[in-house]
Amino acid sequence: MRHQKQGKKLSLKAAPRRALLRNLAVNLVLRGKIRTTLTKAKALRPAVERLVTKARKGADLNNRRNLLKSVNNEKAVNKLLNELGQKYQTRPGGYTRIIRLDARKGDNAKMAVIEFV
C-alpha cells in the first residue's frame, strides 16, 4: 500500500528517477521553459519549487553547497542564487506554471510546457 507516499514513480527505480528529475530541473533553471510529458512536469514542479525557495534565502556558502548537492550544476546554482532567488524574493510560492499541450504524435502521450511565472 502507498499510504502517505509523495510523488510519482514514473515507472523508474529511485536512482534513475532522481537523475531524471535533477536533469529536468537543471534544464528548466537554465532555459526558463521546457517541454515534457504532463506527468513528468507535475513530478518536477515540487522539486523546482523547493530549489527556488532555498535560493530565496540568500547566496551564503551553506545555501550554495546545499543547492549544489541537490542540483550538481554550477551554472544552474549561480542562476538560482543570482537571478531566480532575487526575482521571487517577495513571492510566497508558486514559481512555476504548467501549460497543457496537444498529445505527442508517436505514442499519444499528454504533453506540457513547464515554465517560470
pLDDT digits (tens, 9 = 90+) for 52-110: 999 999 889 999 999 999 999 999 999 999 999 999 999 999 999 999 999 999 999 99
Q: Please tell me the predicted confidence (pLDDT) of residue 99.
A: 98
pTM for the whole thing? 0.92
User: What's the rounded Cα separation, in Å, for the pair 51 and 87?
Assistant: 13
What's the topology of domain 16-116? Answer: 50s Ribosomal Protein L17; Chain: A, (3.90.1030)
Q: What is the pLDDT of residues 10-40, one digit of tens each?
A: 999 999 999 999 999 999 999 999 999 999 9
Alpha-carbon torsion (57, 62, 65, 66), positive or negative: negative
Q: How far is the C-alpha of 17 from the C-alpha of 8, rounded, in Å?
A: 9
